Structures are given as C-alpha cells and as structure tokens.
Amino acid sequence: MKAQYDSTADALYLQFGTQAPDGVVEMAAGVHVDTTDGGEIIGIEILNASEKINNPPLRGKLQPHQTEMPKLQSTNRSA
C-alpha cells in the first residue's frame, strides 16, 4: 500500500495496486473508493483529510507527496 498526501488540496490517497480504476463509489462526503469492474478496491481518496483523520501520530508523519505509508505502532484492543 502507498499513500500520497497533497497538502494544497488537503487530500489523502491510499493506493492498493497499480491497476487503473474503472469506476468510483462515494462512500461518504469526500471519501471516494476507486474500484475495478470486478469490484476490487484499487484506492481510497479522502478529501479534507486533516479534518477527517483524528490520529495525531499519522497526521504528524504524513508529508506532502509521501509515497510510502508511515509505520504506526499497533495496539491490541482485545479484552
């Protein structure tokens, strides 16, 4: 997976492969999922990302035009 953040547009794009998408589905306001004709998810675009991502460690690591997703410490949420 690769991530690209455009600070001018405040848009985050998560890319899951190299295939070109055939369509897009708007999942919520400003959240678009790129898909293939076979239903495979190719990428997710998040507009106004700084308002939607409530994760300070991730926010601090994203840099404009970053090509690799930053590694975050995983947490175990099981009880």
Please report the DSSP string for 36-59 in residue order: -TT--EEEEEEETHHHH---HHHH
State the Cα–Cα distance between residues 16 and 69, nearest whole angstrom: 11
pLDDT of 65 > 70? The answer is: no
Tell me the residue length of the chain: 79
pLDDT of 31 > 90? The answer is: yes
What band does 77 get if pLDDT is binned at 50, 70 and 90?
A: very low
